[in-house]
Amino acid sequence: MAGDLYTQLEINKDRTMKLYDVFLTYIYYLIHPFKTHEQFVNPDVEKPLLKLTAYESLSTSWVFVIINGIARIALLNLVLVMISNMIADSNLELLGLVNIDEMSNYSFLILSAVLDIIFFPLFGLFIIQYWEIVIKFFGKLIQTPGDLAGKANEIISVYYASHIFKIIPFFGAFAQSISSIVLMYAGLRVQLKASPALCFCIIFSPVFIGIALISVFMLLMLVFSAVTF
């Protein structure tokens, strides 16, 4: 019995250390993106850097998205309570005119936070698939040697480290967007040896694809209108 308990404690300790190492590695990715990719390309045998898969980074990012969602809901409730108290202290009759349950904006913000938490993993899986295809395509295009699938996985895993900024209120989303560009740029420069211009073309490829799709859709609508009338 004592032996089984000791074994279970050792297992739990190993799991705790693994999670601790994952979060430390995640933060290291964010702080040292260029150095991280250099270590991926030229690994240090004596001090190997822990490699997270793209899916492990996605899972870690989800933790910060959950924290962000809970913080947003808590702040909204705090603001509403403060407003209600201010109205109650200033004018009791005015309080009866304010119905918090009917505040559509409040309900929308709460729903938005919940949906962000629920759908983040699904959207993240799509993002991983998209960047894998794009990175491997451009890697083949510029004839980058090595395992392109492995390089794509490493670039994406570091790219997801930007989501740690999600825990910052108000400015977290903006900081996350900027840092994701920097992390992706670092991976493309070091792993694919792509030029700065090509790196930015790859990073903003979703924008170009979106514009192309909108243009095609509008062209089809014009053609359809011309044929109809």
**89 or 43: which carries more pLDDT confidence?**
43
Whether 99 has a pLDDT exceeding 70, the answer reads: no
Tokens 């989501």 locate to: 163
157-196 pLDDT, tens digit per residue, is 999 999 999 888 778 888 999 999 999 999 999 999 999 9
100-131 pLDDT, tens digit per residue, is 555 556 677 778 788 888 899 999 999 999 99
SS3 letters across 92-159: HHHHHHCCHHHCHHHHHHHHHHHHHHHHHHHHHHHHHHHHHHHHHHHHHHCCCCCCHHHHHHHHHHHH
- Check: pTM over 0.75? Answer yes or no: yes
- Dig out the tokens for 222 from the structure: 């014009």
Mean pLDDT of the chain: 81
